[in-house]
Amino acid sequence: MSDNGPKKSKRQWDRIIYFIVFFSLIGWLGYYIFTRTFYVRAQSHVLYENVNVRLLKDCRIMEYFVDEDAEVKFGDTLFRYIENAPDDSFDVTADLQSEANNNDNPAYQWVIREILNTEQRISVNETHLNENNNLIKTYESELKEIQAMVQLGVMPQTRLDLRKNEIVKLKSENNRIIEENKKLKSSIEDLRSKIPAIKTDYKKNFRLSKEGIAEDKFFVSPFDGSVNRIYVRQFETCLKSEITMSIHRVSPIFVRAYFEQEDLDYLKTGDEFEVEFPNGKKSIGVLKRFYYSTIPLPEEYQKRYEPTTRSLAGDIYPKDSIEAKEWESYYKMGALVTRFKY
């Protein structure tokens, strides 16, 4: 009797657990089918109206004067950049000044020019080296944060792998630059040995041509607002097709929702949506506009290891000023918007 009692009790508990799991799955499946059939649901971001900054030419960002979330006024300087930044093939020519006491020996002039050109090349390489080192420090400081975001599922693993690869490439480029500078310095010593009587003040007799040297340019804010996001890091090269930074105007806050393409027939301007914020608080918003052209779903909502999903973007604004005031505390946060289809 004592042996059968525990076995019977165990079988009962197994049945109870089985039925709990079974009905939980049935309930979840029923809820999923119900919401998919009768509701439009979409992930979204709480944003202000943004203006993306793109430059007219490829450039290198040299220095930022503002940080993300910084308030800016019309005419404030946002960053310093150079167009057509010198690359590894950059060269500067040296021209002999017309001074009466210069040595007019052609061999002497040629050696001096070569020394000046080589020194300028070394200087350019050292600038690239410093820029790369600063960029490596920035990337390495971001690794822990990206690692944590990947573990939480907010960012894909590819973002972390890409950052690590960029660090490896920069270090490899630095090693190449260091070796090249060693060879260039050695070539200067060889050039000096060709004319032992070379003067230590030879630079006074020459000037460097400014042709081809990139000049600093500055970008100023075209309106009042705040910096939403900086996409290109300091010292990085920015192509004219890329966004350098985004600035949001002083404007009403809204929710950018990413709808599935299958929901197109159930979307029209003026529809009211329930907006649920991360803390569970709910509000009402009105769809003011949406875009028929599809856009890639943001990375945090994209399923890993699957083809990029394209969605319909729509902008949902607060129903009234009271709702708008409450939305401001959720700026840059995610939200879930829902609406009954029928």
190 domain residue, yes or no: yes
* pLDDT above 70 coverage of the chain, percent: 79
CATH code where residue 313 lies: 2.40.30.170
DSSP annotation of 281 reads -
Higher pLDDT, residue 215 or 266: 266
Residue 149 and residue 164 share a domain: yes
Domains in the chain: how many in total?
A: 3
Residue 138 and residue 190 share a domain: yes
170 domain residue, yes or no: yes
pLDDT in the model for residue 96: 41
17 domain residue, yes or no: no
pLDDT for residue 293 is more than 50: yes
Residue 180 and residue 64 share a domain: no
pLDDT for residue 102 is more than 50: no
285 domain residue, yes or no: yes
pLDDT in the model for residue 202: 52
CATH code where residue 219 lies: 2.40.50.100
Pairing of strands 39-47, 245-249: unpaired
Residues spanned by the domain of 186 = 86-213
pLDDT in the model for residue 32: 65
Residue 221 and residue 74 share a domain: yes
From 53-62, 79-88, 218-227, 232-241, the region with the lowest mean pLDDT: 79-88
189 domain residue, yes or no: yes
pLDDT tens digit string along 241-273? Answer: 888 998 887 778 899 999 988 888 888 888 999
Residue 130 and residue 188 share a domain: yes
Instruction: Calculate helix-pair angle for 106-151, 157-194, nearest 10 degrees.
Output: 160
pLDDT in the model for residue 106: 62
Give the closest residue to 256 by CA, choosing from 90, 44, 34: 44
**173: its two tokens:** 């480029």
Highest mean pLDDT of the ranges 159-168, 208-217, 273-282 = 273-282
pLDDT in the model for residue 160: 83
Residue 286 and residue 206 share a domain: no
Cα–Cα distance list, 209 to 81, 97, 117, 216 (Å): 21, 11, 10, 17
pTM exceeds 0.85 for this model: no
Question: What distance in Å separates the CA atoms of residue 150 and residue 45, rounded to the nearest whole number?
Answer: 19
pLDDT in the model for residue 97: 43
**289: its two tokens:** 């506009």
149 domain residue, yes or no: yes
Asked whether the beta carbons of 158 and 192 are under 8 A apart, the reply is no
pLDDT in the model for residue 213: 47
9 domain residue, yes or no: no
pLDDT for residue 104 is more than 80: no
Asked whether the beta carbons of 129 and 178 are under 8 A apart, the reply is yes
Residue 274 and residue 188 share a domain: no
**133: its two tokens:** 């080192």
pLDDT in the model for residue 31: 63
pLDDT for residue 209 is more than 60: no
pLDDT for residue 204 is more than 60: no
Question: What distance in Å separates the CA atoms of residue 297 and residue 313, rounded to the nearest whole number?
Answer: 9
pLDDT tens digit string along 148-170? Answer: 888 877 777 887 888 888 888 88
Residue 300 and residue 233 share a domain: no
Residue 199 and residue 121 share a domain: yes
Averaged pLDDT of the chain: 78
Cα–Cα distance list, 124 to 15, 27, 61, 170, 214 (Å): 76, 67, 16, 16, 12
pLDDT for residue 90 is more than 50: no
Cα–Cα distance list, 25 to 21, 51, 246 (Å): 6, 46, 44
Residue 133 and residue 60 share a domain: no
Mean of the pLDDT values across residues 18-47?
A: 76
